[in-house]
Amino acid sequence: MTTFHSITSPEEWQQLLCKLPHSHALQSWTWAAFKSRWGWQLRPLVMLEPGSDKPLAAAMVLKRPLPRTPYSILYVPKGPAFDYANESLRNLVLAELEQVTRQERGIFIKIDPDVVKGWGAEEEQPAPMGVEFMQDLQARGWRFADEQIQFRHTVELDLTQSEESLLAAMKSKTRYNIGLAARKGITIRVGTPDDFPMLAAMYQETGERDGFGLRPLPYYLDIWQSFYQAGLGQPLIAEYAGEPVAAIYLVKSGQKVIYMYGASTEKERNRMPNYLLQWEAIRWAKAQGCERYDFWGAPDEFTESDRLWGVWRFKAGFNGQVVRHIGAWDYVVRPLWYWLYGTAVPKYLDLLRNRKKGEIGD
Average pLDDT across the chain, whole number: 93
SS3 (DSSP) at 311: helix
The confidence score (pLDDT) of residue 80 equals 98
Q: What is the pLDDT of residue 342?
A: 86
Burial environment of residue 139 by CB neighbours within 10 A (0 to 12, 13 to 18, 19 or more) = exposed
Amino acid at site 36 = S
Number of neighbours of residue 108 by Cβ within 10 angstroms: 24
Long-range contacts (CB closer than 8 Å, 24 or more residues apart) made by 160-168: 160/291, 163/283, 163/286, 166/282
Amino acid identity of residue 194, one-letter, is D
**In this model, does residue 1 exceed pLDDT 80?**
no
In this predicted model, what pLDDT tens digit does every residue of 305-331 receive, in sequence order? 988 898 999 999 999 999 999 999 999
Helix locations, 188-316, DSSP H: 196-210, 217-229, 273-287, 309-316
Q: What is the pLDDT of residues 168-216, one digit of tens each?
A: 999 999 999 999 999 999 999 999 999 999 999 999 999 999 888 899 9
Query: Rounded distance, CA 184 to CA 245, Å?
Result: 13
Selection from 270, 275, 288 nearest residue 234 by Cα: 288
Its pTM stands at 0.92
Burial status of residue 332 (CB atoms within 10 A of its CB: 0-12, 13-18, 19 or more): buried
Catalogue all structural domains in the chain, each as residue range(s) with its CATH number: 4-146+326-361 (3.40.630.30), 155-324 (3.40.630.30)
Which is it for the CA torsion 94, 97, 102, 107, positive or negative? negative
What sign does the CA torsion over 105, 110, 113, 117 have? positive
Strands 243-253 and 233-240: antiparallel
How does pLDDT run across 39-95, given as a tens digit for each residue?
999 999 999 999 888 999 999 999 999 999 999 999 999 999 999 999 999 999 999
Percent of the chain residues topping a pLDDT of 70: 94
Which residues, 6 or more positions from 67, have their beta carbon under 8 angstroms from its beta carbon?
Answer: none
